[in-house]
């Protein structure tokens, strides 16, 4: 059986497509769009992407590729972390955080009993105006996502907007 050059080229392209990671729904625009839609819904101005903050998130996550532990970095930025045992896109991670809105009571500035809403309040924190995010696939197959915010937010007793 003779294989044509065109068939060989198509086979090589298919093989490359299988090994080169996709960046679908993981771009800076994808992270920003999710954040800025949530912020617009509560009349808070948009965030802007910051490459220095994104590099901070990326460098921190690289330290956890081996264990995929969701431990806060303790740095100078506000931070949201997301984890999944499967591949999790940046878009899905932001949506997960924004979905906490239903557990946040603005009037009491608190979360519903036994619920988490701090990721959501950081997303819409009015004083946070710059952000950067990163994602890693861990050695165990899980995914860890970090978005960091400047200035930091989620101060106790202060409303996000």
Q: Please indicate whether residue 34 or residue 20 has the higher confidence score (pLDDT).
A: 34
Q: Please state which of the ranges 16-30, 31-45, 51-65 shows the lowest mean pLDDT.
A: 16-30
Taking the C-alpha atoms of residue 18 and residue 52, their distance in angstroms, rounded to an integer, is: 30
pLDDT at 24: 62
Instruction: Give yes or no for residue 11 having a pLDDT over 80.
Output: no
pLDDT at 25: 80
What value, to the nearest 5°, has the Cα angle with vertex 158 and ends 157 and 159? 120
Q: Residue 71 is encoded by which pair of tokens?
A: 């431990």
Q: Please state which of the ranges 24-28, 30-34, 89-93, 99-103 shows the lowest mean pLDDT.
A: 24-28
CB-based burial of residue 78 (10 Å sphere; 0-12 exposed, 13-18 middle, 19+ buried)? Answer: buried
Mean of pLDDT values over 18-28: 59
Q: Give the mean pLDDT of the chain.
A: 87
Largest CA distance in the chain: 74
pTM for this model (two decimals): 0.83
Which of 118, 123, 153, 158 lies closest to 46, judged by CA?
Answer: 123
Taking the C-alpha atoms of residue 140 and residue 72, their distance in angstroms, rounded to an integer, is: 19
Instruction: Give yes or no for residue 34 having a pLDDT over 60.
Output: yes
Q: Residue 54 is encoded by which pair of tokens?
A: 């994104």
Q: Please state which of the ranges 22-26, 56-60, 92-96 shows the lowest mean pLDDT.
A: 22-26
């Amino acid at each position: 059986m003779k294989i044509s050059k065109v068939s060989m080229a198509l086979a090589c392209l298919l093989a490359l497509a299988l090994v080169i990671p996709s960046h679908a729904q993981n771009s800076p625009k994808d992270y920003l769009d999710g954040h800025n839609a949530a912020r617009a819904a509560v009349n808070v101005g948009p965030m802007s992407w910051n490459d220095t903050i994104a590099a901070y998130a990326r460098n921190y996550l690289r330290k956890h590729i081996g264990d995929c532990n969701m431990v806060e970095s303790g740095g100078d930025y506000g931070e949201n972390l997301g984890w999944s045992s499967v591949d999790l896109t940046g878009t899905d991670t932001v949506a997960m955080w924004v979905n906490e809105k239903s557990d946040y009571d603005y009037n009491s500035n608190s979360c519903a009993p036994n619920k988490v809403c701090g990721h959501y309040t950081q997303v819409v924190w009015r004083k946070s105006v710059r952000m950067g995010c990163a994602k890693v696939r861990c050695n165990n197959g899980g995914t860890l996502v970090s978005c960091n915010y400047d200035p930091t937010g989620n101060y106790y007793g202060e409303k996000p907007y």
